[in-house]
Chain A
Amino acid sequence: MPPLRMPIVLNCHRGIGPAVSGTALVARDNFSARYDLDRKRGVFSRPTHKLAGESYVGKILVLNEAKGGVATAWMLRDMKERGLVPLALVFNRVNPILAQGAAFAGLALVDRFAGDVSDLIRTGDELRVDPAAGVVEILNREIS
């Protein structure tokens, strides 16, 4: 009988949007669609951002906090319709703008974990994000 795999399960607050599975892109940094992104090319453009030059398209972005202005509330939906959007947003804590933007775009968003989610998840991890259940599973690693 093959060994029973036990993915790492991280509990969080109930989120917004659909359940999705994908690959994590992680940084201990903050986020604003207007301040940090080249939304035409789908990459982080702010030179001082820890993910500068990285493509965010189709990735599950794991970051610390939402920052800055209100524009992200509109931008996520436009990014989604143009196919240049992250698959999901997994944050330690978001501000109202990111929550409103995710609700408007129908994009998966969760926050409020027991620990620092940018430490718990590594870039390249395979994740399943279930906002309705308030759960993120790390599928490629097991509880040691």
Chain B
Amino acid sequence: MRAGAFGEPRRWATLHQIAVGEFFDAADLVPISQAHIMADTESLGQSGVGFLEGLAAAPEAERRVRVPTLTDPRGLDVAVYKRLGQSEAMRALEARAIAALQAFGVLMTDTCINYQTIMPPVRGEHLAMGDTGVVVYSNSVFGARSNFEGGPSALAAALTGRTPRYGYHLDEYRRATRRFRLDARPRDFSEWGALGAIIGQACGSYWEVPLIEGLAEILEEVPGSDALKHFGAALASYGSVALFHMPGITPEASLDRGRPARMRPGRPRSIRRADVEAFVAAYGATGDKVDVVVFAAPQLSLVEMAAVAEALAGRQVHAQTTLLVATSPEVKHAADRMGLTSRIEEAGAIVAAGICFYQSYAGEMAEANGWKRLLTNSAKLVNIIGGYGYRPTLLSLERCVDSAVAGRVV
């Protein structure tokens, strides 16, 4: 493939994989069963879209992906982009990117919760997943095996059906390196995110694998998929962490590879209620005017959509505040069918499908709408959005909704 006998797309893919594989001392390439491409146009830019179009112009036999390949959220939802202040130029660029991706045979799932909605991975399955939240959830909760695969690398993996075997494809990297003990019970998803953020900040490296102990003692029930979704997404966002173990909950925590083979000596670091409260308080802004309330990052599950509809309870979002809910196209269809979308939209909120807010020209949206103060229950979004000029605040879903109705942080 390196010489180009299978066409330019696979030649480019092979050379890219060799460069990355050599950098990480990969012994070979491992066959994968799925790829997942992050290719929103804000990240792609003109150059990235041009690159995709160049490869997509190859003959069909040369450009078709070799494994089922999904997409991460897009930069824009055509149904709501005007209301969000996004431009026609953004829409045109997005359309070009979609056409190029479709030419490869990519399935336009436009989601960062594919493990909840499309095809949950299987333990030991090698993947090339292109979203940090998807990777950390797939590795940790399912015991699948993926590194963070950025857009170009996920596309390369889709074209060759393989990926360089390094990092979390290998047993030795999957052992815990740091111990934490949970002494505070997270009360909602914002606190699960805060917990992920605190542990992520303490780890601070892709190559650290936290072992989180103490959950069985303080939790009355096993955390559900949405709790671990928020936890993992924040862990990956704040710490670049790709794998965690929770004894009694995640599949590899009880095996040798979950034991602290690379662990530093000493007792686990305790995470207490005061730590979680201090983390949340650092973003506090009680009384401030609220410009925009965002439920996204990761996209909402159907259960979270129902929770937003329930919290609104027939009330109206304040005239000076925008409430935006971002979910996957699959969940949006289900929410439409079950009447959840209409309940949310009747309150004056916007339901977007196939985007995840921060990947959607967040800086330009802030400028176009005069947004500064942003409320969310996503610790991941709080971490990202400061770089785009927002002042973020982390609150529970219910307090976010109450604040959206009041127009001020309550």
Residues 140-173 of B, flagged 1 when their CB comes within 8 A of A and 0 if not, give 0000000111111100000000000011000000
Chain B residues whose CB sits within 8 angstroms of the CB of A94 once the complex forms: 206
Check A113 for interface membership: any CB of B closer than 8 A: no
Residues 77-120 of B, flagged 1 when their CB comes within 8 A of A and 0 if not, give 00000000000000000000000000000000000000000000
Nearest A-chain residue to B166, judged by Cβ: A96
Check if B386 sits within 8 Å of A47, measured CB to CB: yes
Q: Which of B39, B132, B207 contacts A69 (CB 8 A)?
A: B132
Nearest A-chain residue to B36, judged by Cβ: A70
Check if B384 sits within 8 Å of A65, measured CB to CB: no
Check if B204 sits within 8 Å of A70, measured CB to CB: no
Min CB distance, A111 to chain B, in Å?
9
Min CB distance, B235 to chain A, in Å?
12
How many of chain B's residues touch chain A, expressed as a range?
A: 35 or more
Q: Which of A15, A34, A99 contacts B43 (CB 8 A)?
A: A34
The stretch of A74-82, A115-123, A135-143 in contact with B is A74-82
Q: Which of A14, A36, A73, A103 contacts B151 (CB 8 A)?
A: A73
Check if A70 sits within 8 Å of B47, measured CB to CB: no
Check B44 for interface membership: any CB of A closer than 8 A: yes
Check A63 for interface membership: any CB of B closer than 8 A: no
Question: Given the known A-B contacts A67-B239, A70-B148, are A78 and B44 also in contact in the complex, defined by CB atoms under 8 Å?
Answer: yes
The number of residues on chain A lying at the interface, defined by a beta carbon within 8 Å of a beta carbon of chain B, is 39
Chain A residues whose CB sits within 8 angstroms of the CB of B47 once the complex forms: 77-78, 81-82
Check if A77 sits within 8 Å of B48, measured CB to CB: yes
Q: Which of B22, B46, B239 contacts A78 (CB 8 A)?
A: B46
Q: A109 to B24, alpha carbons, bound, how many Å?
A: 13
Chain A residues 1 to 36 lying within 8 A of chain B, measured CB to CB, are 13-16, 30, 34-36
Min CB distance, B61 to chain A, in Å?
24
A-B CB contacts (within 8 Å), total count: 134
Chain A residues whose CB sits within 8 angstroms of the CB of B239 once the complex forms: 67
Chain A residues whose CB sits within 8 angstroms of the CB of B44 once the complex forms: 74, 78
| Chain B positions near chain A (C-beta within 8 angstroms) | 16, 19-20, 22-24, 38-40, 42-48, 51, 72, 130-132, 147-153, 166-167, 204-207, 236-240, 358-359, 383-384, 386-387, 389
Other A-B contacts than A13-B23, A69-B384, 20 sampled, CB-CB below 8 A, are: A34-B358, A35-B383, A66-B240, A68-B240, A70-B131, A74-B151, A78-B44, A78-B45, A93-B206, A93-B207, A95-B206, A95-B207, A96-B149, A96-B150, A99-B24, A100-B16, A100-B149, A101-B152, A103-B23, A103-B152
| Chain A positions near chain B (C-beta within 8 angstroms) | 13-16, 30, 34-37, 45-48, 65-75, 77-78, 81-82, 93-97, 99-101, 103-104, 109
Going nearest first, the 6 A-B pairs with the smallest beta carbon separation are A73-B150, A78-B45, A95-B206, A103-B19, A104-B152, A71-B43
